[in-house]
Amino acid sequence: MFKKRIWKHILIGFTWAVSLGGLVVLMSFIEFKKAGVFCKDVKVYIPGSQYFIDKQEVDNILKVHSHQLIGRNMESINIHDLEKRLKANPFIESAKVYTDMDGIIKVEISQRQPMLRIMNQFDQDYYIDQHGLKIPLSANFTAKVIAANGYIDEVFANKVDTLHTDIARQLFKIVDFINRDSLWSAQIAQVYVNQGREIELIPRVGNNRILLGNADSLESKFHNLLVFYKQALPQVGWDRYKVINIKYANQVVGVKSDNFKKDSLKAVTKVDSLKLKKDTSQIN
């Protein structure tokens, strides 16, 4: 029994030695072959529907057409340096660069996804991406996202940066909430920060403004707004109110429009303020 155990350990050790030796030989062969391979082409893959950066700009960053890559020995090309150059571009979130044994450099790029466009009170114009980072506008592409303007004091230093003001963080939170709901993303076209630093929403349908106030209790506020749309507006029409105030808990207040004709109120229930019950799930 003891001899069998010894032979078993010897066999396992021998197997490991052969495997390790084979791996060393294989790696040596790969390094030897790599030393004789020259770069033939650079292939760029940019997925997604955003076009802030294209293949030509990637080629310019990597200096493909200035003969700094094509024709060079693959062993002399610093892949990490190429990735670093790409990541310095404000529209690139991540970049992977790798090579194959046929002399092809492959580049995979992930672009930043803007979700909000800011036009601040200092006439600066920039995007906020899905991670809450500020990025510049692009000369190549304009993203179809919600725009925010008004008394916004978040400045932009022409570089990728985090948000520094409370109002900018609130705007990001609100637009993120809107984008996650197909109804509100289709209905809300613009966000405005008024002089009192309260946030207003500009809908696509109707001539009114929605006074949201701040980014607190968004689930409740938008639920109340939906109830108001279903209960009040069908009775009085979309042009009845110039402001729909949803900043108060469990209440929606409609501010009458000055241009609304009194004759249109005939046979219509007058609803200037809608008290909301806690359970409104049965409303159709």
Average pLDDT for 52-79: 83
The rounded distance, in Å, linking the Cα atoms of 97 and 80 is 8
Give Dmax (Cα) for the chain.
108
Task: Find residue 79's DSSP bridge partners.
Answer: none
Per the DSSP assignment, residues forming a β-bridge with 253 are 245, 273
**Reading across the β-sheet that carries 104-111, which strands appear in turn?**
41-45, 104-111, 92-99
Where do you find CATH 3.10.20.310 in the chain?
Answer: 41-111
Greater confidence, 122 or 230? Answer: 122
Highest mean pLDDT among 16-30, 124-138, 233-247, 254-268: 124-138
Residue 139 burial (CB count, 10 A): 7
Tell me how many degrees the CA angle 76-79-83 measures, rounded to the nearest 5. Answer: 150
Q: Which residue has the higher pLDDT, 64 or 22?
A: 64
% the chain with pLDDT above 70? 75
Thinking of the domain 41-111, which architecture would CATH place it in?
Roll (3.10)
The ranges of the chain annotated as CATH 3.40.50.11690 are 114-275
Question: Any residues with CB less than 8 A from the CB of 204 and at least 6 apart, and which?
Answer: 186, 187, 188, 189
DSSP state of 73: B
> 182-191: per-residue pLDDT in tens?
999 999 999 9
Give dist(CA 91, CA 156) in Å, integer: 15
The domain made up of 114-275 has a fold known as Rossmann fold (3.40.50)
For residue 269, is it left (φ>0), alpha (ψ between -120 and 50) or beta?
beta
Across the chain, mean pLDDT equals 81
Once rounded to an integer, what is the mean pLDDT over residues 63-86? 84
Report the share of the chain in percent with pLDDT over 90.
49
12: confidence class by pLDDT, cuts 50, 70, 90:
low
Going by C-beta distance under 8 Å and a sequence separation of 6 or more, which residues neighbour residue 88? none
Average pLDDT estimate for 214-238: 86
**219 Cβ neighbours under 8 A, 6+ residues apart:** none
What is the average per-residue pLDDT within 204-222? 92
Do the Cβ atoms of 58 and 109 come closer than 8 Å?
yes
Residues 6 or more apart whose Cβ sits within 8 Å of residue 124: 118, 155, 156
Helix (H, G, I), strand (E, B) or coil at 95: strand
